[in-house]
Chain A
Amino acid sequence: MASKRKVGEAKLEKEELDLFVDAPPDDDDDDDGDTSDSEESVYSGLEEEPSSSEEEEENSSDNEDHGTDDTTDTPGPTTDNTAGSAGTSSTERLDNRPQPDEYEFDSSDEEDIRNTVGNIPMEWYNDYPHIGYNLDGKKIMKPAKGDELDEFLNKMDNPDYWRTVKDKTTGEDVKLTDEELDIIQQIQRGKYPDKAYNPYEPYIDFFTHEKMIHPVNNHPRSKRSFIPSLVEKEKVSKLVHAIKMGWIKPRKARDDEPKYYDIWENDNQYTPDKRYQTHIPAPKLKLPGHEESYNPPPEYLPSEEEILAWTQADPEDRRQAFLSKKYDALRKVPAYAGFVKERFERCLDLYLCPRQRKMRANVTAEDLIPKLPKPRDLQPFPTTLSVVYEGHTDVVRCISVEPTGQWLVSGSDDETLRFWEVATGRCRKVLQLGGRVRSVAWCPNSAVCLVAAVVDSTVIIINPSLGDKLVYHSTDNLLNTYEAPESQETKLPVEWAAAEGKEHDMGIRLRISHPKTIRQVTWHGKGDYFAIVMPDGGRMSVLIHQLTKRRSQNPFRKSKGLVQCVLFHPIRPFLFVATQRYVRVYNLLKQELTKKLMANCKWVSSMAVHPGGDNLIIGSYDSRLSWFDMDLSTKPYQTLRHQKRALRQVCYHKKYPLFASASDDGTVVICHGMVYSDLLQNPLLVPVKILRGHKVTQNLGAMDCEFHPTQPWIFSCGADTTVRLYT
């Protein structure tokens, strides 16, 4: 790089010199135009010099300057003179030179012709009085050189000092003209030396591919071009003849099928049969670890016991297939004995590797859960514990709410029946019944005020004397109007007895004794009939009693199994009888079995009918709650399992779309159960709330639950001796 730059500089110097050289001939010799022309064509920069006279003037002014400085600077004029002589001599020599054009652009021709020393460092001549030789072999003497002081004075006084350069080959001072300076500046700036040159002139494309409307040349078309060619006519007639004769057949139509086609066209679509698409990479080899090193760290070296254990172990049981061994140099490592075997096993691995891709369904668990409305949008439903009814001393087995919702009755294992004011939690009455109260039911007819309670094998009908005075007085009157009929054909071992004396004052009105323990009592909606369940009663396991006539009847001739509970249909004359596994629906009028529902559980504990009458829920001891849509199927429409332990009771709300289940784990689960009048729409079941509150005692939690008849509240009773109201 450095040398190149030097060369460039040298060239520049040369050019400067050439410029300088050409200037004098211009002013001196006008007659030899040929040479000057040629010279000018080479140095086009000088072509447009405004005038030679100016140059002349400058030169003369220079001379004058020097003249004025004569006193101090004597060498000035002499240098000028020598320059002038050198200039003239060179031009003369140029004149004599032969003029082959090939030299015009030859760079070697541009070398200095006044001094023949060539392109050498001029310092070589520093010690000589001359500076080189001219064409004639004469020494070119160095011009006289001033001392430092002269130089300084020159620098100070001469206004053109800055544009004066020294010609190294001749040792003369040269004053650069404005044009030369311009060129130097242009080059310094890295631009074209000629300012006027425009490198971006619009390009004229003469031989363009575009078709012109005019011909390029202006020749008229030749005459011959208008005359049909005879030779061509001959050729054509020959071809026509050949076609006619059938010698030339028309070319066959080329097939449209592409010559090349994309063999990977269908590669983007996935086809499982293409193995390369379902590429399964071969199992990777384990990378070697420290234990495989020829010089492992001492902790990797097996102890003697380990070696012994390794050798005694089955090859399959060994944790690693080799024993680490230490060698102090790699070259002492022997050939690996197990190499072939290991390669073979690797090949087996690759060959026997299972290459079946398992298709896994990408289903998130959330997507499988049906979209249910948020419980917040399904209000009202009971959410918080509001009132606790305290007073019982043992497990509260059963509760029942008065039809208007002012009173609540609860029966307990402490052999009492308690009546509570719902709003305040005040216990209004306590009845000692002399036995565990298994079931209690408030008569649904609001025109009478009666409660049926089950103690062991007796049903006790009680008038609690709560609520409307008129009603409970008329109830007593109604019971008193009974007159025993003459013919008592009692096939059933059931005994009706009116209470007297002290019992009557307590509120007990009737006692109905049965042969076996009774499990449940339930009223018909009208309030005259009630049904009882005697699970051990054999064919008498279900009995229906009529209050006004004090009559009992057995609807079934034979037992269908262990009856768990019975229910009257709220509107139609149906009776639901739940055995362990099935729920049978009997039509009481026609005296026939209408339907048999498969409970789909192991042991039914309780059941409840929707106030509309078409839906039924069943709770079971295996903690399932099954919802039956009786128009839909005899199998459960939906089975819910929200509680961990056995369900003791299920119930529906009379007004709100709610149902609940009480469980042995002490919780009551409230669910939203919307039944639509549109028969095409299935019921919407959404669990909305888990009510916790009852403590689990003796493995019993919540024993019974019942909704308030008008408010979205639920009562529950439990083994912790309390009755609770959640609102």
Chain B
Amino acid sequence: MASSGPHVQAKFFTKQPQFTVSEDVFSVPATVTTLELNDLINGLLSSADGDGESLRREFDFLVQGEFLRLPLNTHMQNKGLTAERVVSIEFLLRQPAPEPSTAIQQEDWISSVQGNRDSILSGSYDSTVQVWTRTGQRLVSGTGHTEPVKAVAWVKQEATGGQFLSASQDQLIVLWDWDREGGTAVPSLCCRGHARSVDCLATHPTADKFASGSWDKMIKLWSLGDAEEEEEEERARGKKKAKQEQLGPTRTPLMTLQGHSEAVTSVTWVDDITLCSASWDHTIRTWDAEAGIPKETLTGSKAFHSIAYSSLSHLLASGSSDRHVRLWDLRSQKGVLVESTLTAHQGWVSAVAWSPTNQYHLTSASYDKTLKLWDTRSPRAPLYNMSGHREKLLCADWSIPDLLICGGAEKQLCTFSYSDQLSNMPDRQQGN
């Protein structure tokens, strides 16, 4: 540690109890980087263990809530910290890189994807919707749409099967009943009402209704229950007859939310009654889904392609055509709504998805052919880039906690296994 140049007083602490080190203040060179700090912490830990068993671990370092990516003094300068006080540096195990697990070849572009438990639902430009196992085995393929499927969403999944939704450019949303044993998916409901291509779906957390957004600037809420509405449907069907029969009984929307002046590209549920939608008209709107009234409007400067909400961090992530991922705080009372901007993509950000288990992690897919894993504490550089795709990515999903899924014009459904260090910690301790 003895080197020329200015030094900084630093104190190390961690929230991971197995790595606790003494609270001593160290004098480290101001230009220290994570590499040297890693050596220091590893040295401290091995000396504390005393048994000389030196299993080297990689740590990341947080200074004032942001990952240390530059030399310490530059980082502190950016953060406006003075070098005269003792700096508290939090360290934590570095997030291991996601490993590519499977690549499922498909017939056509993949427009949308959603995982649930052990199966992956994907919508394709060949107008089919398919369910896959994690290993790449096709469980079922639903055909019935006449135009490319633009969005898919799980409703429920059981051991014997389940229900899922698909929305297509043929203006229909179809609810499929999936029988796992028989390997069949039968359309059980056909939701008509949108005037143009339906581009996004969001199932309500209680799975009794869902929202859809379309190019016709509308957001529609639909019921998933059956019962008495069905009879209404019967009457409606009586008029139209015949050809609709193959996609199941017709359903009309519960509610239509009107307000966007351009195509709605993404909808998501913030909580049970609040719906959030993003549009090409450069706004993100929140709606009261019970009353059907708009609540708030967040205005950006570019068209939004995708939004995702995390109930862990209470942040809304948005991907837009200006290549940035922005994090919005919907609860914020102060004027600044954009919490931070994650900048690294080279093309449109087509999809964003939050980790269901880690409040800091999210993933984004972009037209620049990369999937990026972000930590919100490191806004300037992503944790990992998953490049190697040959074509632009159109969708990404992180519904299964340990699986990142993305698909796009490459016609491949790629999955990456993600290990959450928080959940993995007990295992490690047992291993030690």
Interface residues of A (CB under 8 A from B): 379-380, 384, 386-387, 404, 406, 423-426, 428, 467-470, 710-711, 727
Contacting pair A386 B321 (CB below 8 A): yes
* Chain B neighbourhood of A379, CB < 8 A: 301
Contact with A along B229-270 (1 / 0, CB 8 A): 000000000000000000000000000000000110100000
**B12 is an interface residue with CB less than 8 A from chain A:** no
12 intermolecular pairs with C-beta atoms under 8 Å apart: A386-B347, A387-B348, A404-B263, A423-B265, A424-B109, A424-B111, A424-B394, A468-B171, A468-B216, A469-B171, A710-B262, A710-B280
* Chain B neighbourhood of A711, CB < 8 A: 280, 303, 321
With A and B bound together, what is the CA distance between A379 and B348 in angstroms?
Answer: 18
* Chain A neighbourhood of B323, CB < 8 A: 384
If the complex has contacts A406-B196, A469-B170, A469-B171, are A426 and B280 also in contact, measured as CB distance less than 8 A? Answer: no
Contacting pair A426 B109 (CB below 8 A): yes
If the complex has contacts A380-B301, A727-B321, are A467 and B280 also in contact, measured as CB distance less than 8 A? Answer: no
Contacting pair B125 A426 (CB below 8 A): yes
Contacting pair B263 A426 (CB below 8 A): no
**B392 is an interface residue with CB less than 8 A from chain A:** yes
**B309 is an interface residue with CB less than 8 A from chain A:** no
With A and B bound together, what is the CA distance between A195 and B305 in angstroms?
Answer: 107
* Inter-chain pairs besides A387-B348, A425-B392, A426-B148, 18 sampled, C-beta below 8 Å: A384-B323, A386-B347, A387-B367, A387-B392, A404-B196, A406-B196, A406-B197, A406-B215, A406-B263, A424-B392, A424-B394, A469-B195, A470-B195, A710-B262, A710-B281, A711-B280, A711-B303, A727-B322
Q: Would you list which residues of chain B between 284 and 332 have a CB under 8 Å from chain A?
A: 301-303, 305, 321-323
With A and B bound together, what is the CA distance between A373 and B394 in angstroms?
Answer: 38
With A and B bound together, what is the CA distance between A426 and B197 in angstroms?
Answer: 14
Of chain A, the residue at the smallest CB distance from B192 is A469
With A and B bound together, what is the CA distance between A384 and B324 in angstroms?
Answer: 13
With A and B bound together, what is the CA distance between A524 and B263 in angstroms?
Answer: 26
What does DSSP make chain B's interface, helix, strand, loop or mixed? loop
* Chain A neighbourhood of B367, CB < 8 A: 386-387
- Shortest 5 CB-CB contacts between residues of A and residues of B: A468-B195, A727-B321, A468-B196, A386-B348, A406-B215
- Nearest CB of chain B from residue A723's CB, rounded to whole Å: 15
**B120 is an interface residue with CB less than 8 A from chain A:** no
Of chain A, the residue at the smallest CB distance from B125 is A426
With A and B bound together, what is the CA distance between A702 and B409 in angstroms?
Answer: 26
With A and B bound together, what is the CA distance between A426 and B392 in angstroms?
Answer: 11
* Chain B neighbourhood of A425, CB < 8 A: 392, 409
Interface residues of B (CB under 8 A from A): 109, 111, 125, 148, 170-171, 195-197, 215-216, 262-263, 265, 280-281, 301-303, 305, 321-323, 347-348, 367, 392, 394, 409
* Chain A neighbourhood of B281, CB < 8 A: 710
With A and B bound together, what is the CA distance between A384 and B265 in angstroms?
Answer: 21
With A and B bound together, what is the CA distance between A470 and B194 in angstroms?
Answer: 11
* Chain B neighbourhood of A424, CB < 8 A: 109, 111, 392, 394, 409
- Nearest CB of chain A from residue B95's CB, rounded to whole Å: 30
* Chain B neighbourhood of A384, CB < 8 A: 323
* Chain B neighbourhood of A426, CB < 8 A: 109, 125, 148, 409
What does DSSP make chain A's interface, helix, strand, loop or mixed? loop
- Nearest CB of chain B from residue A708's CB, rounded to whole Å: 10
- Nearest CB of chain A from residue B395's CB, rounded to whole Å: 10
Of chain A, the residue at the smallest CB distance from B323 is A384
Of chain A, the residue at the smallest CB distance from B348 is A386
With A and B bound together, what is the CA distance between A428 and B109 in angstroms?
Answer: 12
* Chain A neighbourhood of B392, CB < 8 A: 387, 424-425
With A and B bound together, what is the CA distance between A711 and B280 in angstroms?
Answer: 8
* Chain B neighbourhood of A423, CB < 8 A: 265, 305
- Nearest CB of chain B from residue A469's CB, rounded to whole Å: 6
Of chain A, the residue at the smallest CB distance from B408 is A424
With A and B bound together, what is the CA distance between A404 and B197 in angstroms?
Answer: 12
- Nearest CB of chain B from residue A346's CB, rounded to whole Å: 71
Contacting pair B347 A467 (CB below 8 A): no
- Nearest CB of chain B from residue A449's CB, rounded to whole Å: 11
Of chain A, the residue at the smallest CB distance from B215 is A406
- Nearest CB of chain B from residue A654's CB, rounded to whole Å: 14
- Nearest CB of chain B from residue A442's CB, rounded to whole Å: 15
- Nearest CB of chain B from residue A593's CB, rounded to whole Å: 40
With A and B bound together, what is the CA distance between A379 and B367 in angstroms?
Answer: 23
* Chain B neighbourhood of A428, CB < 8 A: 148
With A and B bound together, what is the CA distance between A710 and B302 in angstroms?
Answer: 12
With A and B bound together, what is the CA distance between A156 and B347 in angstroms?
Answer: 112
- Nearest CB of chain B from residue A475's CB, rounded to whole Å: 14
With A and B bound together, what is the CA distance between A387 and B408 in angstroms?
Answer: 14
* Chain A neighbourhood of B170, CB < 8 A: 469
* Chain A neighbourhood of B148, CB < 8 A: 426, 428
Counting chain A CB atoms within 10 Å of each CB, the highest count among B109, B281, B305, B321 belongs to B321
With A and B bound together, what is the CA distance between A423 and B280 in angstroms?
Answer: 10
With A and B bound together, what is the CA distance between A727 and B303 in angstroms?
Answer: 10
- Nearest CB of chain A from residue B359's CB, rounded to whole Å: 31
Of chain A, the residue at the smallest CB distance from B321 is A727
- Nearest CB of chain A from residue B167's CB, rounded to whole Å: 14
* Chain A neighbourhood of B263, CB < 8 A: 404, 406
- Nearest CB of chain B from residue A220's CB, rounded to whole Å: 95
With A and B bound together, what is the CA distance between A711 and B323 in angstroms?
Answer: 16
Counting chain B CB atoms within 10 Å of each CB, the highest count among A387, A424, A426, A467 belongs to A424
With A and B bound together, what is the CA distance between A459 and B347 in angstroms?
Answer: 38
With A and B bound together, what is the CA distance between A500 and B256 in angstroms?
Answer: 40
* Chain B neighbourhood of A387, CB < 8 A: 348, 367, 392
- Nearest CB of chain B from residue A462's CB, rounded to whole Å: 18
* Chain A neighbourhood of B109, CB < 8 A: 424, 426
Of chain A, the residue at the smallest CB distance from B146 is A469
* Chain A neighbourhood of B171, CB < 8 A: 468-469
Contacting pair A404 B215 (CB below 8 A): yes
- Nearest CB of chain B from residue A59's CB, rounded to whole Å: 86
* Chain B neighbourhood of A467, CB < 8 A: 196
- Nearest CB of chain A from residue B394's CB, rounded to whole Å: 6
Of chain B, the residue at the smallest CB distance from A386 is B348
- Nearest CB of chain B from residue A682's CB, rounded to whole Å: 29
